[in-house]
Amino acid sequence: MRLVRAAYGVTAGVTLAAAVLTGVVAPAHAAIGYRLYVSTHPNRSGAVALNGDRVHGLVYVFAKPGYGALRVRFYIDDVHHRKAPVHVETTPPYDLMGGSPKHPGAFHTATLANGKHTISIVVEQPNKQRSTYTATFTIANPVKPPPAPTHVKATAGKGLVTVTWHSGGGRTAGFFVYRGSSSHVSLHHPVSSRLSRSARSFVDYSVTSGKRYYYVVQAVASTQGRAASKGVRSGTVKAAAKLSLASVTAVGGSGAVRLTWAAKGAASIRVYRATSSVTLHSHLVKTLSGAATHFSDTTVSNGTTYHYLVQALAGTKHVESASVEAVPVAAPTSVTATGGPTGVTLGWSLASTAGETGIAVYRSTTTPVALTGPLATLAAGVTTYTDASAAVGTTYYYVVSAQSAAGHAEGGSGAATPVAAPVVGTAGGDGTVTLHWTAGGTGVTGYEVFSGATSSAATITSGSPLASLPASTGTYVDSGLTDGVARYYLVRALSAGGQADSTVHGVTPVAAPTVTPSVDTHGQVHLTWTSSNEPPVTSYLVFRGINAPPTSTSSTSAYAKVAAGTTTWADPGTGVTQDDGTTYYYVVQAYYSGAHANSAAVQATPLPSPPSKIVNFEASAGGNAGEIDLIWDSADDLTAQIAIYRSTTSGQLGTLVTTLTDPTLVVYSDTGLASGTTYYYTVRAINPGGHTDSDQASATAP
């Protein structure tokens, strides 16, 4: 046995063995008998009979003699010719992979698994005779197989089979799924395209109801090594449910549109949106599972009319709804309800009136308030309303809603009892408590503030008042308090004819956290803080500013919320994929329903560590003139992009060939090179923290 190596590449080759005739010889009356030959050179020189040989790398397979045939059909691993040929040649020379007479296509043996394979030809001759021939050969590529997939399951559904598996990790670069009608599943024609290394499932829609199937999942390594799982059998495929879609609605809210529908037989749901019904398929907003019945679109602007289309899909079938419209509007905020001798006065704020057609006020003596039969309907832009029908001594609950042509947005709720008592609000801080109420009620001559250590109104008001204030004052700040210790307050409205007490409000001041920032090797910012007030702290709010401290520490502007008891947090918005050079400022707020306290602002400028060097970088002559193929091991997870440099001088970086923005790529073909010239390549792994270069690899362009 002798080894013939290709002069143009280091991996291609053919190992020659004694030829064994296994093909079907042409009929005796055929004018010409054809055989299959293989060469390691594009010019077909040094060709030997393919039958019985061992091959690897890139080779050139062709039929001889190279004349006399009307057409030659080539089949791989299909000796009975039951499938379509992989190639048909009608002009000589008759090459397996086609190409031009001087530049035949190379056969990449790595596209097949190592082991025995067949190539068959069917030759049609001018005398209308047909001859066939089959060559058996062995592929022996050097490979490093990945771990085989495990826990493979095939679950039959209605018109589909779902295949799931676990990855063995390691060198796995992707997966193929194969299907058969028996336990002996052929690994030549996958039912899936190549799936990504992160794939863990595949849905096979090309099945027939009433049948069972067998499935094998094959892992593919970056070295072209392959490892297949054990075959598993599915259950019987059920008849696919009839695909239908109905009851599609769209209702605008505050900064959102909520869509609902009823779908049957769907594998997935797509939601499209546009500002014109003519371009409804121009913007795919979301793809959901077939079981989904609703979706909230939060990427809309208040006051804009949106058109939506919902599409249900199952395999190659789909149905879609007619266009539905919605107009999101800004919800009323800061809703207040103040009881007085003549009823309840409501007030609210409107961030925007765009798209608003009116305001609806709802009232109930129980909560939650039913949004049917509004108490009052007001003009757009109105921000106050007085409920003169409210009875003294009865507590009322209110909701204010902004209305639009196709939607509505509920604001906050308010509650009030029409009595001449102050409605007190409280807010705790670091060693302080702030009380506020609506001052200057009808007949009010002044206010008294009471404080105590218990929640009993009788106990609190039994002593002297903490402060006496004029009727025009509606706030009071109690300072010098101990953080973590609750205090209780009551505000009394004084008048010539009597008094009215507010309810008792308990507030616990909280201490401000002490925050320490840090940055990990991935460029992600981590915060650590200390706090001495748990309880009553119920959560921590994190506020972030970019290149400046945060401008607001209102709970509605919090960047993140962390549960009480947790004193560390990592910013998901920073890390290796983010821009470098940005300084982030943070404030951590200790928070509970009655109080909050802010830390001092801290800052961090994240920058990840440079990525690791890419290894096992190789260059080899490509299958076409002027082409060099590059391959390397996967970059580490710190790599954001890969740059390829080329030089004609060893040891020099040379010029930039291309930048790959997908760091998971492991191959690249450099074309348009000068034949016979040796090129030197370097692969650079890059992230915002820096870069590292691979060892240099070289190859001579064919």
What digits encode the pLDDT tens for the residues 473-528?
A: 999 999 988 888 889 999 988 765 446 788 899 888 888 889 999 988 888 899 99
Confidence at residue 141, expressed as pLDDT on a 0 to 100 scale: 81
Distance CA 604, CA 124 (A): 75
Mean pLDDT of the chain, nearest integer: 86
Q: Give me the pLDDT at residue 417, please.
A: 65
The pLDDT value given to residue 8: 29
Confidence of residue 2 (pLDDT cuts 50, 70, 90): very low
370 vs 338: which has the higher pLDDT: 370
Residue 575 has pLDDT above 50, yes or no: yes
Q: What is the pLDDT of residue 317?
A: 80
Map tokens 């009975």 to a residue. 80
Q: Which DSSP string do the residues of 610-650 spell out, in sequence order?
A: PPPPP-S-EEEE-SSTT-EEEE-PPPPTT--EEEEEEESST
Mean pLDDT of 428-451: 84
- Band the pLDDT of 13: cuts 50, 70, 90: very low
Query: Across residues 14-41, what is the average pLDDT?
Result: 58
Tell me, what's the pLDDT at 353?
Answer: 87
pLDDT number for residue 340: 61
pLDDT for residue 643: 96
Amino acid identity, residue 677?
Answer: T
pLDDT band at residue 345 under the 50/70/90 scheme: confident
Confidence (pLDDT) at 549: 93
According to the model, what pLDDT value does residue 617 have? 95
Tokens read off for 686: 């890059």
Can you tell me the distance from the alpha carbon of 435 to that of 121, in angstroms, rounded to the nearest whole number? 93
146-156: average pLDDT: 93
Say how far apart CA 359 and CA 402 lie, in whole Å.
5
Q: What is the mean pLDDT of residues 75-92?
A: 93
pTM for this model (two decimals): 0.36
**Higher per-residue confidence, 637 vs 27:** 637
Q: Are 645 and 651 a contacting pair, CB within 8 Å? A: no
So what's the pLDDT on residue 26? 40
- The DSSP-derived string for 113-172 is -SEEEEEEEEEE-TTS-EEEEEEEEEE-----PPPPPEEEEEEE-BS-EEEEEE---TTE
In angstroms, the CA 225 to CA 485 distance is 68
**What tens digit of pLDDT does each residue of 640-651 get?**
899 999 999 999
Q: How far apart are CA 11 and CA 139, in angstroms?
A: 13
Q: Which segment of 32-36, 132-136, 481-485 scores lowest on mean pLDDT?
A: 481-485
Contact 657, 670 (CB under 8 A): yes
As a whole-number percent, the residues of the chain with pLDDT over 70 amount to 91
pLDDT tens digits along 289-317 = 888 999 999 999 998 999 999 999 887 78
**Confidence at 336, pLDDT banded by 50, 70, 90:** confident
**For residues 51 and 506, what is the distance between their CA atoms, to the nearest angstrom?**
92
